[in-house]
Structure 1
Amino acid sequence: MDKSSIEMLEFPRVRERLANYTSFPAGRDLALSLQPVSDAEWVNLLLKQSAEARRLISVRPDFHIAESYDVREDVIRAQKGATLDTETLLKVMKTVTACRLARNGLSKMVGDLPALWGIVQEISVLAQVEGEIGKCVSPTGDILDSASPQLAEVRWRMRDTRRQLQDRLGTIVKSKKGQDMLQEQLITERNGRYVLPVKVESKRDLKGIVHDVSNTGATVFIEPLETVETGNELRQYEVQERQEIERILAVLSASVGASAEDIISNIGALARLDVALAKAYYAGKTRAVEPEIAGGTEGKERVLKLVNARHPLLKGEAIPLSV
């Protein structure tokens, strides 16, 4: 079919309507790229997928594609050695999980939905990728202590060192001297160091390092000399934590990169399932009827016969047309 005929039939607008029923970006992109098909065998398969999708959502209205993302470009970057951040790794994990759930869900209905099963049976279950990311990254994108024994240990040391710092500073705050020289009875931070807010006229009463001065100049933020060494230890542990997190992200990214081809293939299959479901929802919305594709006679041109047909974009009670 030539481009002008496609435009005249408003096929691009129909594609846009269809795309609105998809669940994730890869499915939407696939819906928007659809073109008319003339091969009878391929047409019959697509119609069968749509019909089975309508049957699926009628008997399993709770069936849906779980939270998914089009992370194909990200996994290609990982395949080339890039380190992915936690947000991207979570998207990869959720997409891999959605693929597994879709495959598992339809595996129980193979006999009833063979065409849909033909789509998802291509999906590879990537339990290692899914499990590794889930073990290391929290739902909010933080690296968990369980990510590695080294990370768990350095974080324990950080907590213990921070407690020691706060205890020592707390002793100063509660002392008579502290009550006299502090602007407020609290411990705060400046430039990643624990400091005390000292009245400017009392700054000589507390030996230490000045890290900041208030806008009014009335308060200086001093790290007491007696806590500097412990503060340095805390900074060292923070550096070790950061390095270990970077190592963990690199390992997780390498795992994703090693499975890049499978992830890309899975997303393609999930997108095809998404479009089949979108067609089912759109068909229900427009009260569409599945056409019959006759076998035809060799040597004779196929004939298109429309019976009480309505354009899907027409609103209200459109007058049906038979051709």
Structure 2
Amino acid sequence: MNDRTLKVLEYNKIKNMLNNMVESSLGKSLVENLKPSTDIEDVKYMQNQTDEAVNIIIKRGRPPLGGIHDVLKDMKRAEIGSTLMPINLLRIADSLRAARRLKSYMKKDKEDRDSNYPILESIIYSLNTYKYIEDDIYNAIIGEDQISDNASSKLRNIRRKIESKNGSIRNKLNSIINSSTNRKYLQDALITIREDRFVVPVKQEYKSNIPGLVHDQSSSGATLFIEPMAIVELNNQLKELKLEEKEEIERILAELTNLVAQESEGIKENQKILSNLDLVFGKAKLALDMDGSKPILNNEGYINIKKGRHPLIPKDEVVPTDIYIGKKFNTLVITGPNTGGKTVTLKTVGLLTLMAQSGIQVPGEYGSHMAVFDQLFADIGDEQSIEQSLSTFSSHMTNIVDILESVDKNSLVLFDELGAGTDPTEGAALAMSILNYLHSKSIRTIATTHYSELKVYALTTEGIENASVEFNVKTLSPTYKLLIGVPGKSNAFEISKRIGLGDYIIDRARQLISKENIEFEDVLASIEKDRRVTEENRQKTERMKKEIDKLKEELQSKKAKADDMKKRIIREAKQEAKKIVREAKEESDEIVKALRDISSDIEKERRRKIQEAQDTLKGSIDKIDDDLAENVLSKKAKKIPKNLKAGETVKLLNLNQRGTVINPPNESGNLAVQVGIMKVNVHVSTVQRIKGDSKSSQQPGTKSIIRAKSKSVKSEIDVRGKTLEEAVLDVDKYLDDAYIAGLNRITIIHGKGTGILRQGISELLRSQRHVKGYRLGKHGEGGTGVTVVDLK
């Protein structure tokens, strides 16, 4: 790039801004040598680097780049075997720590796991880390010229001895200076050091009274600094210890230097990477500071800057501008009044081009297109040279000649006030000729001018476009907006009139201008008026469109919220319903459990009462058996029956009951007799044979009871509607009656319901002694609403 162009466009000021963003001297050195690249692939790579760095800073904060030092000289000394000083080793350790911390900074975290930084990740992960060297250096060195006691055990022991020896010397000297005898010989009662040895200040006239070695004297000569003979040996020992300390320190430094030298290539490679990273992150910080964006690059000479801002004008003062060139036209002629912003527009295009080609993001909106040019030329400002006796016009023309000789197809040329400084007619002609030459070579050119001839030239020449900077005549102030496609009006008469110039002078001036020029200016005024109306309508339309889009977005947002609310209400209702059902089920389960517990308690109580009744009955039967046996034994028949056979009817004399012989008497005379439902063992002497029809002569007894029961007991019982306790008692009694009646199968009707009756009756049947088996009813028998019971 042309050095004069870089100076004119104030590229160095951008470099100064970038210099404030880098953190190391290495980064500042790279900034100092930074120049725009003309290789589009190189420019794309630099822009991608900067863009990744911007995104990383936004996601993770600024990188830890502190501690980067230039250690190349130190590494060269280490490689040739020279021992490095503590400060040099500390700088190397700082650089190693910076590399390690940067690698840790680059590791993906949870918040940024989906991001991708291929360029910077590759660069940062290529850094070499030597934590063991860091640790050894930091453990051994605690200051620029201070070695830690932890550097080695030998150094620690030596320093302990030195401290002990210092204490011994001071104690000895204190005894000397505090002695009443010696106090009058001393200038001051203090201990000092001369030539690294402990001494005491002695008055000149008493030097013979304090035997020892004289190391120094005061400027007046009145005081001698004497090392007493009593501590000479101690000082010698201290000196030897300090020499040992120095040797151990030199050994430690040499060892650390050798450690660094072994990894010299990796450490030097780190320095190159770290310095480049400092520059890249410096560009990223600058981009964030000026609200920059990554431009879309091309090598076809196409520029389309959207809301571009001059980077050297404060953000709260600069007016963004849109400017494009390179597709429908390659030459742009900007006209308008002075102080309207024409020169700022030229510099904005030029400076943003230089920044883009240096890998720096441009201050403009996303989607801006920037071309990569081989050369950029700018003729801007007053170039009058007193030394060379050149006028402003001559200076400009000299520069333009150089440009025309050096320009090629892939160049960008910027002219400020082309053809000014000479006769207007000749200047306009020269300007048109220069523009025509560059236009014929398809060279991108932007020029500012006041000449009306150039406005007509741009209107009538294909591939050349007019542009103007807007000016508000009412306020006599520029708006700094660039209007491409509209030629500018000088507004000299309107401005003069507004500031008080007489109408007669202005009218006379109008008469002096050719009719064609007046008509052209009127056409421009009409165009400008129509443009403003169109612009106002366009802005109004855009505002309405934005309002419609905003309303549409709000409606969509409300609809989305309503849909979400509807879904949420339905979801909550379902959850509430599930909760109610779950709670109801839990409650019903608790009720069923409670009922089962109650039923179980009732059943236990019933069983207890039944067991008590059975125990009572068994006791009564046992008593009856005992009584019967006693009666049988006590009452004997007058005549003992002989040859009794099974089936014969006999009378039990003691019971006054009839019975049937089950088996004939045994050898002891005992036999078994069936009396009703009871079997009685009696002696043959207590029975009397009854002759004749037993059925007709038998007294009413058990058989009559059984016959009565068999006629009255039904084959089914219905306990529906009763409580469990009532049902259990009724069924239990019914089972006894059915058994006595001789029924083989009965049916218990308990209904389906909740199943409590069915379960309670089932538990009763399991323990009832008369029950042979039971089952639920089949289809046609009543199903689960009945239980069919088989009796023994």
What is the distance in 1 between the residues matched to 2:199 and 2:177?
11
Which residue does 2:517 correspond to in 1? none
Q: How far did 1:4 drift?
A: 4.6
Q: How far did 1:6 drift?
A: 4.1
1:42-191 counterparts in 2 under 5 A? 42-61=42-61, 63-108=63-108, 112=115, 113-191=117-195
The TM-score normalised by the length of structure 1 is: 0.90
Contact 2:304/2:322, CA 8 A, preserved across alignment: no
1:228-243 counterparts in 2 under 5 A? 228-243=232-247
Which residue does 1:259 correspond to in 2? 263
Q: How far did 1:16 drift?
A: 2.8
Q: How far did 1:302 drift?
A: 5.1
User: How far does the alpha carbon of each residue in 1:168-219 deviate from its partner, in whole angstroms, 9 at most, with x for none?
Assistant: 1111112111222222111111111111111222221111111111222222
The TM-score normalised by the length of structure 2 is: 0.38
Aligned residue type for 1:22: V
Q: How far did 1:123 drift?
A: 0.4
Aligned residue type for 2:60: R
User: How far does the alpha carbon of each residue in 1:3-56 deviate from its partner, in whole angstroms, 9 at most, with x for none?
Assistant: 454444433432232122101011111222223234444333322221222222
Cα distance, 1:51–1:30 mapped onto 2, change above 3 Å: same
**Worse overlay, 166-175 or 13-22:** 13-22
Aligned residue type for 1:23: E
Contact 1:119/1:272, CA 8 A, preserved across alignment: no
SS in 1 for 2:163: helix
What is the distance in 2 between the residues matched to 1:321 and 1:5?
23
Structure 1 unaligned residues grouped into runs of 5+? none
**Worse overlay, 85-94 or 27-36:** 27-36
**Worse overlay, 145-154 or 227-236:** 145-154
SS in 2 for 1:308: strand
User: How far does the alpha carbon of each residue in 1:82-125 deviate from its partner, in whole angstroms, 9 at most, with x for none?
Assistant: 22111111111111101110111112257523332122111011
Which residue does 2:254 correspond to in 1? 250
What is the distance in 1 between the residues matched to 2:155 and 2:218?
36
Higher strand share: 2
Which residue does 1:310 correspond to in 2? 309
Is residue 287 of structure 1 aligned with residue 287 of structure 2?
A: no
Aligned residue type for 2:103: R
What is the distance in 1 between the residues matched to 2:310 and 2:7?
14
Which residue does 1:320 correspond to in 2? 321
Aligned residue type for 1:80: I
Corresponding residue to 2:274 among 270, 276, 289: 270
What is the distance in 1 between the residues matched to 2:137 and 2:290?
42
What is the distance in 2 between the residues matched to 1:274 and 1:135?
28
What is the distance in 1 between the residues matched to 2:5 and 2:122?
32
What is the distance in 2 between the residues matched to 1:208 and 1:42?
78
What is the distance in 2 between the residues matched to 1:9 and 1:265?
36
Contact 1:70/1:267, CA 8 A, preserved across alignment: yes
What is the distance in 2 between the residues matched to 1:88 and 1:51?
35
**Worse overlay, 142-151 or 87-96:** 142-151
Aligned residue type for 1:37: S
Corresponding residue to 1:212 among 207, 213, 216: 216
What is the distance in 1 between the residues matched to 2:34 and 2:218?
62
What is the distance in 1 between the residues matched to 2:163 and 2:85?
25
What is the distance in 1 between the residues matched to 2:250 and 2:38?
52
Q: How far did 1:287 drift?
A: 2.3
1:1-40 counterparts in 2 under 5 A? 1-40=1-40
Aligned residue type for 1:15: K
Whose Rg is larger?
2
Contact 2:15/2:31, CA 8 A, preserved across alignment: yes
**Worse overlay, 7-16 or 246-255:** 7-16
Cα distance, 1:193–1:139 mapped onto 2, change above 3 Å: closer
SS in 1 for 2:18: helix
What is the distance in 1 between the residues matched to 2:180 and 2:231?
19
Give the count of matched residue pairs.
Answer: 318
Percent identity over paired residues: 31
What is the distance in 2 between the residues matched to 1:6 and 1:80?
43
Contact 1:310/1:321, CA 8 A, preserved across alignment: no
Cα distance, 1:3–1:213 mapped onto 2, change above 3 Å: closer
SS in 2 for 1:197: strand
Q: How far did 1:150 drift?
A: 2.4
Q: Which has the higher contact order (CA 8 A, sep 6+)?
A: 1
Q: CA RMSD in A?
A: 2.2
What is the distance in 2 between the residues matched to 1:5 and 1:203?
80
What is the distance in 2 between the residues matched to 1:319 and 1:302?
22
Contact 2:306/2:323, CA 8 A, preserved across alignment: yes
Q: How far did 1:2 drift?
A: 4.6
What is the distance in 1 between the residues matched to 2:159 and 2:172?
20
Q: How far did 1:247 drift?
A: 1.9
Contact 1:198/1:221, CA 8 A, preserved across alignment: yes
User: How far does the alpha carbon of each residue in 1:289-318 deviate from its partner, in whole angstroms, 9 at most, with x for none?
Assistant: 210135x7xxxx453433333342344315
SS in 2 for 1:108: coil
What is the distance in 2 between the residues matched to 1:175 and 1:9?
82
SS in 2 for 1:177: coil
Q: How far did 1:246 drift?
A: 1.6
Aligned residue type for 1:313: L
What is the distance in 2 between the residues matched to 1:89 and 1:181?
50
Structure 2 unaligned residues grouped into runs of 5+? 325-792
SS in 2 for 1:305: strand
SS in 2 for 1:306: strand
